[in-house]
Amino acid sequence: MKVLALDFGSARTGVAVSDPTGTLARPLTVVERAGTQKGLAEVVRLVREQEAEKVVVGLPLTLRGTAGEQAEEAERFAEALREALDVPVVLYDERFTTDLAQQTPSSAPEDALAAAHLLSSYLTWQSPATA
């Protein structure tokens, strides 16, 4: 199953996509202001272009695992995506993805790398071998 992941931010949203088997994650791009109508339309276009069968939106919980204002924004964004898409949209804990992206040597944009780390974590969590 091909999955697209979004590391949502009010200014920039990192996008990553898996391979068709849902095993490997790679950074794809960054969408500016994804929470706007124009940004949402761009995300919807990417989901369709990539033929993703599921979308994972990073849920920025605090270190204690609680939801703050940023998590509420991500939840609202995920709900807007659910209304615009005909594929499942799920929220997944994104703690530490930005830190991991900052430590990853790559020419890819940091936000897209964070999305790739989010997606990699999600795919591992979903894998039958780890269940």
Q: What is the mean pLDDT of residues 121-131?
A: 77
Pairing mode, if any, of strands 25-32 and 12-18? antiparallel
pLDDT digits (tens, 9 = 90+) for 22-50: 999 999 999 999 999 999 999 999 999 99
Amino acid at 88: P
Q: What is the mean pLDDT of residues 57-78?
A: 85
Element (H, E) at 29: strand 25-32
Q: Could you tell me which of 39, 11, 12, 10 has the C-alpha nearest to residue 27?
A: 12
Look at 128 and 83; give whichever has higher pLDDT.
83
**Cα end-to-end distance, the chain, whole Å:** 17
Contact 97, 120 (CB under 8 A): no
C-alpha span between 41 and 106 (Å, rounded): 28
pLDDT digits (tens, 9 = 90+) for 77-109: 999 999 999 999 999 988 655 555 566 666 678
CATH number of the domain bearing residue 8: 3.30.420.140
Contact 64, 53 (CB under 8 A): no
Q: Which domain covers residue 36, as residue numbers?
A: 3-130
pLDDT of residue 105: 62
Amino acid at 124: T
Q: How many domains does the chain have?
A: 1
pLDDT digits (tens, 9 = 90+) for 7-29: 999 899 999 999 999 999 999 99
Beta strand extents in 33-125 (DSSP E only):
54-59, 89-93
